[in-house]
Amino acid sequence: MAGKSTLLLVLCLLLSAAAKDRDLKQVLILSRHNIRAPLSSNLRYLSNKTWPTWEVEPGFLTAKGALLERQIGNYISNWLIGNGLLPAGCPDQNDIHVYANTKQRTRKTAKAFVDGAFQNCNITVYSKNSTKMDPIFNPIIRNSSLDLKLAILSEMERSLNSLNLRNAYAKLNDIVDLEHADICRIEGVCDFQTAREDLVYDIDDEPNVRGPLSFTNSIVDAFLMSYYEGMQIDDVAWGHINSPEDWKLFTPIIRGNLDVRFNGTILSKEVAKPLLNYVYNILKDDSKKFTLLVGHDSNLYSVMAAIGIKPYNLPEQYELTPIGGKIVFQKWHDARTGKSLLKIEYIYQSTSQLRNGEMLTESNLPKRVTLAVKNCDVDNEGLCPWDEFLEILKHTFE
**CA–CA gap between residue 3 and residue 309 (Å, rounded):** 33
Are the CB atoms for 221 and 51 separated by under 8 Å? Answer: no
Q: Of the residues 33, 97, 115, 221, which is catalytic?
A: 33
**CA–CA gap between residue 139 and residue 60 (Å, rounded):** 19
Confirm whether 95 is a catalytic residue.
no
**CA–CA gap between residue 268 and residue 81 (Å, rounded):** 34
**CA–CA gap between residue 140 and residue 297 (Å, rounded):** 14
Burial 45-65 (b: 16+ CB within 10 A, else e): bbbbeebbebeeeeebbbebb
108's CB contacts (< 8 A; 6+ apart) are 33, 60, 61, 65, 66
Q: Would you give the end-to-end CA distance of the chain in angstroms?
A: 43
Pairing of β 384-385 and β 339-348: antiparallel
Q: Of the residues 115, 297, 333, 334, which is catalytic?
A: 297
**CA–CA gap between residue 351 and residue 3 (Å, rounded):** 22
* Helix (H), strand (E), coil (C) string for 8-38: HHHHHHHHHHCCCCEEEEEEEEEEECCCECC
Are the CB atoms for 256 and 165 separated by under 8 Å? Answer: yes
Are the CB atoms for 185 and 231 separated by under 8 Å? Answer: no
Confirm whether 134 is a catalytic residue.
no
Supply φ then ψ for residue 340, to 5 degrees. Answer: -100, 145
**CA–CA gap between residue 160 and residue 231 (Å, rounded):** 32
**CA–CA gap between residue 327 and residue 319 (Å, rounded):** 14
> Which residues lie across from 392 on neighbouring strands?
none
Would you name the residues annotated as active-site residues? 33, 297
